[in-house]
Amino acid sequence: MFALADCNNFFVSCERVFRPDLEGRPVVVLSNNDGCAIARSNEAKKLGVKMGQPMFEFRHLIESGAVTVFSSNFSLYGDMSRRVQMTLSRFAPAIEVYSIDESFIDLRGMSPDTDFDRWAKNVSRECRRCTGIPVSVGVSPTKTLAKIASKLCKQYPATRGGCWMHRKQDVEKVLRTFPIEDIWGIGRRYSKRFKGYFGMNTAWDFYTRDESWVSSEMGIGGVRIWKELHGMPCIEFEDTEQAKKQIMISRTFAKEITDPDDLSAHVSMFCAMAVEKLRKQGSCCGSVTTFITTNRFHKDSGRSQFESRLTQFPTATDSTIEINAAVMRTLQEMFRKGYGYKRAGVVLGDIIQADKVQMAFFDDVDRERHARLMSVMDSINRRDGRNTIGVASQSLDGIKMNREHLSPCYTTDWNDIPVVHC
DNA sequence: TCTGGGGTCCTAGGACCC
DNA sequence: TCTGGGGTCCTAGGACCC
């Protein structure tokens, strides 16, 4: 058996932990720059606020007081996520942190006589008690079915946050009405095709197809989903964190940037952030891509641009100095005067373990020195906060963002700790 | 006026090798 | 007119996830 513990409307729930007055009311959390809705309470969903919908389209709901909005507060969400994970760890030797709000739990070592329904309800209750976050715990023979089971918890309050779905007849009963687009791994494209072309609307319609049909339509990935629905586990449980194969830092700017120095300062900071992540996982990268783009929603195509440049390193590196130099050079090549840049980013690729780097024959970088400097830089930034020191080209002011509705960092900033009056 | 920020895997096709 | 057979590697693009 596998369990999936999925936090309900996670970002909204994090805000509600410290604002219990918002329980039962429509709440929306916005993306960076207060752009789009990225989390909605059930009440906000009922009012018609869509995932990813731009805020200006539902501004009337905010202004009339029908919806409460928050700017995203990722230090809060990250910390709350860690607390939920700690609580889950008490119930199983191994958990797989799948995303900020979802973890899988391997139950294969537990006695087959276990009452997993009771177990799931208990885990959910404990998460709520210890962290304040409502969590849906689905248990099933495969990860894909566990996902479905956890969705049932959200749909039916009578499950009290936990649901064990394992008997064939129960699974099939659920699949008969489960929307095809809600199956894990079947996205917008496939579900649109399945509905339009083949008149398939439910998970049952997919489940009852031949394996060979699924294979020809979707390839090996589809077959895995199909088998998982039939109770055959195909998706590995991964409790060790995998090193990233690609690391990207990009941001949309609050205002278009026209000044090359301003743009450089930002992109240089993105670079420093990305390379810090790279070192943190003990890797080096063989290439870096820099990209800049103008506002993609602008009609005036004469002034629009998406450009990117790839730099490859003869010897894979984790030196901010070396990578930043490449990024700054390519940025200079791409920048055009008179254009307003709305978004930019840095992508590190060809990532390998730092101790497996193959040196180039004519390598002339003093890697020892760079390594010592980077290590000192990282420890200072760890101790005194991000952006305490960095390379000269980089902005140390952070990114200017619109965050009009930001909540306090209740759990990660001494100045924001809630005060209890009694 | 205002539109997020990350990731992964699979496949097809081309280049190239013997 | 006829024009092998097998393989690997790389890349771009498409699909998905949260």
Answer with the residue of higher pLDDT: A93 or A76: A76
Among A105-109, A192-196, A294-298, the least confident range: A294-298
CA atom of A45 to C1′ atom of C14, Å: 30
Range among A114-123, A241-250, A310-319 with highest mean pLDDT value: A114-123
pLDDT category of residue A175 using cuts at 50, 70 and 90? very high
Q: Which residues pair with A311 in a beta bridge?
A: A288
Quick one: which residue's CA is nearest to B2's C1'?
A56
CA atom of A345 to C1′ atom of B11, Å: 27
Is residue A42 over pLDDT 90? yes
Nucleotide at minimal C1' distance from the A185 CA? C16
- Interatomic CA distance for residues A100 and A395, integer angstroms: 28
pTM of the model: 0.94
Is residue A375 over pLDDT 70? yes
Is the CB atom of residue A343 positioned under 7 angstroms from any atom of strand B? yes
Res A299: pLDDT: 67
Protein CB footprint (7 Å) on chain B nucleotides? 1-12
Half-sphere exposure of A141 (CA within 13 A, CB side): 14
Res A398: pLDDT: 84
Specify the pairing of strand A95-99 against strand A102-106: antiparallel
Is the CB atom of residue A228 positioned under 7 angstroms from any atom of strand C? no
Nucleotide at minimal C1' distance from the A190 CA? C15
Protein CB footprint (7 Å) on chain C nucleotides? 14-18
Which residues does A10 contact at the CB level (< 8 Å), separation at least 6? A39, A77, A80, A81, A100, A101, A133
Strand order in the sheet with A341-353: A247-257, A341-353, A283-294, A306-317
Q: Which of A107, A106, A82 has the alpha carbon at shortest distance from A7?
A: A82
Quick one: which residue's CA is nearest to B11's C1'?
A219
Is the CB atom of residue A40 positioned under 7 angstroms from any atom of strand B? no
- Interatomic CA distance for residues A172 and A208, integer angstroms: 10
Nucleotide at minimal C1' distance from the A310 CA? C11
Res A300: pLDDT: 65
Q: Are A224 and A206 in contact (CB under 8 A)?
A: no
Q: Return chain A residues 276..335 having CB < 7 Å to nucleic acid strand C.
A: none
Is residue A31 over pLDDT 90? yes
Q: Which of A216, A209, A137, A155 has the alpha carbon at shortest distance from A180?
A: A209
Tell me the pLDDT tens digit for each residue of A244-265: 999 999 999 999 999 999 999 9
Tell me the pLDDT tens digit for each residue of A326-371: 999 999 999 999 899 999 999 999 999 999 888 888 888 999 999 9
Q: Which residues pair with A116 in a beta bridge?
A: none
Kindly list the distances between the CA atom of residue A372 and the CA atoms of A306, A319, A376, A378, A396, in Å, as whole numbers in the listed order. 37, 10, 6, 10, 21
Instruction: State both tokens at A421.
Output: 């009056």
Res A306: pLDDT: 85
Res A301: pLDDT: 58
Res A372: pLDDT: 97
pLDDT category of residue A174 using cuts at 50, 70 and 90? very high
Instruction: State both tokens at A108.
Output: 């294969």
